[in-house]
């Protein structure tokens, strides 16, 4: 919660407490301590009462002069049925008073309601902030992050090891730069491109590179950010996202982890759950049908679980293309390593091709982590540059875990480990 909002809530709380205090003070000032009815009759008999006011519950007598306690009136809490007959015996004027209780009744209804809704609003705001939903006015707003070209900081030069996927996306970039060229022969650019592949292979990086190359606004959001605990919020956020993107077209909408949103409908179980997610998915399908790709709006999405996606998402006219972003081969790993080692101080003579041969099965994210671990290992050694031994130690750390220096192996375990490591060496030599 912003500081300004905290001050506003504080003002309302202080004002409410002040109003309650003034009301109590005002009621106390008007209240006269009641006396026994016998004392009231005695005051009447002695002729000390000048005027009597009769209400529904009390009898108030205004004294001719203040009594020994300085009181100018007395109140009896018990009214006799024959009160009027008794009053007529004395030289005193009397009348019936109808109390006006509207203010008290209104306050008794309004103040508890205001206090209840105030506390509810405060607690809801705190809960919404912890859940990352913002306030009432922003609950249906899209939470997509918008990047311009200078903010993405990524181009195809920063992406390596996925040449086939890059080639597929070059056409998307060319369309965003020259949309008229494609319309000349009646061609229609795909509305959506789905990037499919294991985690860490560079799907999100490719999407950012497309935005950076095309120099257009890039709306990035995760599929899980659409669905909240309130029904209708996800659909409202989908509508708001597409409205923002249309307003800045040509643009790219990138939905990461699409499987969190696009899971096949009708698999919510017997309890009928996931209604909110299905409504959000329906709204996404409607929006993808409702825009013309010629305006320059492209949908990119990424998932590592394409088999669970709703088939309506994958049909022609929505996600027309599926681009496989797989783990890189040896040449791809070498290219990725060359990109990442630019950020570290590399010793002369380090054979990156050898490192690429030792990292079979590593994804792009794994290789980035490998380079960072090698740099950290060189830092721990107080070295001036990262050497091959640092890469080797980093590979062992990633694959086998931390070195257990205090563990003592018996001869049988040593023999088993020796055979295992010899197998690694033979495979590396063969590759």
Ordered by start, the domain boundaries in the chain are: 9-88, 105-131, 147-266+274-324, 330-430
What is the length of the chain?
A: 431
Other CB atoms closer than 10 Å to residue 249's CB: what's the count? 17
CA 41 to chain centre: 72
Predicted confidence band at 136 (pLDDT cuts at 50, 70, 90)? very low
Fold topology of 330-430: Helicase, Ruva Protein; domain 3 (1.10.8)
Mean pLDDT, rounded, for 369-379: 94
What's the confidence (pLDDT) of residue 67? 76
Catalytic entry in 39, 243, 413, 421:
421
Least confident of 16-30, 276-290, 386-400: 16-30
Check: CB of residue 159 under 8 Å from CB of residue 206.
yes
Residues 274-288 have a mean pLDDT of 82
Q: How much is the pLDDT for 265?
A: 77
* Low-confidence winner among 215-224, 251-260, 365-374 (lowest mean pLDDT): 215-224
Instruction: Point out the least confidently predicted range of 89-93, 222-226, 261-265, 345-349.
Output: 89-93
Q: Distance (Å, rounded) from C-alpha 407 to C-alpha 428?
A: 27
pLDDT confidence of 150, banded at 50, 70, 90? very low
pLDDT of 384 above 70? yes
How do residues 156-167 score in pLDDT, each as one tens digit?
A: 888 888 888 888
In terms of pTM, does the model score above 0.85?
A: no
Residue 342 backbone dihedrals phi, psi, to 5 degrees: -65, -20
Q: What's the number of CA atoms in the CB half-sphere (13 Å) around residue 405?
A: 0
CA–CA separation, 99 vs 102, rounded Å?
Answer: 9
For residues 276-304, give the mean pLDDT: 81
The sign of the CA dihedral 123, 127, 130, 133 is: negative
User: Per the structure block, which two tokens stand in for 332?
Assistant: 């791809």
pLDDT of residue 52: 81
**What pLDDT, on a 0 to 100 scale, did the predictor assign at position 386?**
94
Task: Please say whether the dihedral angle defined by the alpha carbons of residues 126, 128, 129 and 131, taken in this order, is positive or negative.
Answer: positive
**pLDDT at residue 370 greater than cutoff 80:** yes
* Mean pLDDT across 61-87: 72
Predicted local distance difference test score (pLDDT) of residue 392: 92
Averaged pLDDT of the chain: 78
Please list the residues that pair with 255 across neighbouring strands.
Answer: 221, 301
CA distances from 125 to 5, 139, 237, 280 (A): 10, 11, 19, 24
Cα distances (Å, whole numbers) of residue 167 to 160, 191, 312: 12, 17, 26
The pLDDT score that the predictor gives to residue 140 is 47
- Diameter of the chain measured on Cα atoms: 128
Span 147-266+274-324 CATH architecture: 3-Layer(aba) Sandwich (3.40)
Tell me the CATH architecture of domain 9-88.
2-Layer Sandwich (3.30)
Buried b (16+ CB within 10 A) or exposed e, 226-241: bbbeeeebbbbbbbbb
Has residue 78 got a pLDDT over 60? no
Over range 371-396, report the average pLDDT.
93
Per-residue b/e over 370-381, b at no fewer than 16 CB within 10 Å? Answer: bbebbbebbeee
Decide if 387 is catalytic.
no
- From 317, 252, 329, select the one nearest 285 (Cα to Cα): 317
Check residue 273 and give its pLDDT: 46
């Amino acid at each position: 919660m912003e500081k300004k909002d905290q001050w506003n809530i504080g003002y309302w709380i202080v004002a409410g407490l002040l109003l309650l205090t003034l009301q109590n003070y005002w009621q106390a000032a008007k209240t006269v301590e009641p006396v026994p009815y016998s004392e009231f009759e005695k005051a009447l008999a002695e002729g000390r009462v000048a005027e009597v006011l009769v209400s529904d519950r009390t009898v108030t007598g205004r004294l001719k002069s203040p009594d020994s306690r300085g009181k100018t009136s007395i109140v009896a809490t018990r009214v006799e049925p024959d009160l009027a007959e008794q009053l007529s015996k004395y030289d005193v004027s009397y009348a019936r008073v109808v109390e006006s209780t509207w203010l008290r009744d209104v306050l008794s209804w309004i103040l508890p309601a205001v206090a209840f809704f105030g506390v509810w609003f405060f607690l809801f705001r705190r809960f919404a902030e912890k859940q990352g939903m913002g306030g009432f006015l922003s609950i249906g707003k899209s939470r997509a992050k918008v990047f311009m070209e200078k903010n993405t900081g990524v181009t195809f030069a920063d992406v390596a090891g996925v040449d086939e996927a890059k080639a597929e996306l070059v056409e998307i970039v060319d369309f965003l730069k020259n949309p008229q060229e494609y319309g000349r022969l009646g061609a229609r650019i795909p509305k959506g491109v789905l990037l499919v592949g294991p985690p860490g292979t560079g799907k999100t990086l490719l999407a950012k590179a497309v935005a950076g190359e095309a120099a257009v606004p890039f709306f990035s959001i995760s599929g899980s950010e659409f669905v909240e605990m309130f029904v209708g919020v996800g659909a409202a956020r989908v509508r708001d996202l597409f409205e923002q993107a249309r307003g800045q077209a040509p643009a790219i909408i990138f939905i990461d982890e699409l499987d969190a949103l696009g899971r096949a409908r009708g698999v919510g179980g017997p309890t009928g759950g996931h209604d909110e997610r299905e409504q959000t998915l329906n709204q996404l399908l409607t929006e993808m049908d409702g825009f013309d790709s010629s305006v320059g709006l492209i949908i990119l999405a990424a998932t590592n679980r394409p088999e669970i996606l709703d088939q309506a998402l994958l049909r022609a006219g929505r996600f027309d293309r599926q681009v496989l972003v797989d783990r890189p081969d040896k040449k791809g790993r070498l290219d990725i390593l060359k990109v990442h080692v630019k950020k570290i101080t590399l010793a002369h003579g380090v054979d990156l091709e050898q490192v690429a041969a030792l990292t079979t099965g590593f994804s792009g994210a794994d290789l980035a982590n490998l380079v960072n671990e090698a740099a950290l290992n060189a830092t721990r050694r107080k070295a001036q540059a990262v050497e091959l031994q640092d890469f080797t130690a980093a590979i062992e750390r990633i694959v086998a875990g931390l070195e257990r220096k205090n563990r003592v192996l018996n001869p049988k375990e040593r023999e088993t480990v020796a055979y295992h490591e010899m197998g690694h060496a033979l495979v590396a030599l063969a590759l």
